Amino acid sequence: MEYRIERDSMGEVEVPVAALYGASTQRAKDNFPISGIRFSRRFIWALGLIKGSAATVSGEMGSIEPETADAIRRAADEVMDGKHDEHFVLDIFQTGSGTSTNTNANEVIANRASALLAEDGREGSVHPNDQVNYGQSSNDVIPTAIHVAAVAAIRQELLPALEKLADALKVKADEFADVVKSGRTHLMDATPVTLGQEFGGYATQVAKGRERLESVLPELEEMALGGTATGTGINAPDGFAADTIALMAERTEMPFREAEDHFEAQGAKDAAVNASGVLKTIAVSFFKLANDIRHLGSGPTSGISELKIPSLQPGSSIMPGKVNPVMSEMMMQVAAQVIGNDSTVTWSGAAGNFELNVMMPVLSHNLLESISILANAADTFAELCVVGLEANEERARELVERNAIVVTALNPHIGYDNGARIAKEAVATGRSVRDLVLEEGLMAADELDAALDLKKMTEGGVSG
């Protein structure tokens, strides 16, 4: 590889000739060969949005020459579009402020802006700190990028995916409304329910998760930009941050606004921790519904088998014909990852020391990963699992008719103690509750038939 010599405040550094980044980025690249995990596309997009909007405002305010400001904005737009992702080379395990990655963005945009000026026949180079980073600090840019990326990912990916999943589950709730089956509590037989009622519960879980997620958006839409180094706003002209954020809001059609308190916005990451907590709750909901569906589809001959799950791929390298609930297993693993990510975000959020949080890169990575994989999981699960689910009505009827706990509906007529005795005898002998009640003369046949109407049992109230 061929190298060029770049200089920064610490001296000379060899940088690959083709690299858009400079000396400071190269130092960080050399210092942090930790995981190979880089900042996400969403995060790099957010950095481009911030830098381009800031340059536009700086040009309008006269802080940067208009031609230079325009070149920076064009270079930053290319960063937003992903044209220079290969030059964002830094590991997320780096300086806790994310200064290295802010510098990476400054250098890439400055070098590209300089090239654009040259293409336009203009002389001079763009300075990464004095011009691309004008009116900013890593300490307000990185938390702003976290919020921008999270809001965009939630609005554009996760909220639509949750709506799609909730709608698919609601369709199944309506489709399965008349499929009467055994309820189960403690994994044991309980009074009858409909398969539709179960799926209605799942749909509501997802819908409530969507509502919870919407509730965290207002505080995520507060931007730290304008606080610069410590929250005081030193070196940022009056109105610079507000105008930049307003332009970011206009360009994205998202209601971003300047933070009410820059010391809170930079010293703490409570909004991100709160959002991660909601993502964890959504993950818990996903785990429950996916786990229920795989158990209801277990079998097909020796399990519950009240559901027929879609056959998507062979389930075994040794057992011919085996099909597994792969979509449920995918969803459960995503849930586990999000729950683990939340622990990292929580601990990272606790690391706010005085005027700055110093675990922002790893916080950002885990928060954005959770949003992304939940969205992908919800979309995929809806399309490849929920839509294709079918009720096994014959199996559901068979199991509920053998369920001795239907005797619960007879409590108002024969009392709890008689009901307990009948249920135990039914289980022990394999005889039906109806036959045993009639044999003992506890109820008349027509009264008993009315009370043991299985569909009526799923509608509440007193049977018979």
- For the annotated catalytic residues, the residue numbers are 186, 316
Distance CA 362, CA 370 (A): 12
Asked whether the beta carbons of 196 and 174 are under 8 A apart, the reply is: yes
Helix-then-strand count for the chain, H and E: 18, 10
Q: Can you read off the two tokens belonging to residue 365?
A: 């990575």
Distance CA 12, CA 50 (A): 29
Q: Can you read off the two tokens belonging to residue 354?
A: 């005085």
Distance (Å) of CA 446 to CA 154, 318, 434, 450, 460: 57, 54, 11, 6, 20
Q: Can you read off the two tokens belonging to residue 210?
A: 């969507």
The torsion angles phi and psi of 390, rounded to 5 degrees, stand at -130, 145
Distance CA 79, CA 101 (A): 13
Distance CA 141, CA 46 (A): 10
Distance CA 400, CA 189 (A): 9
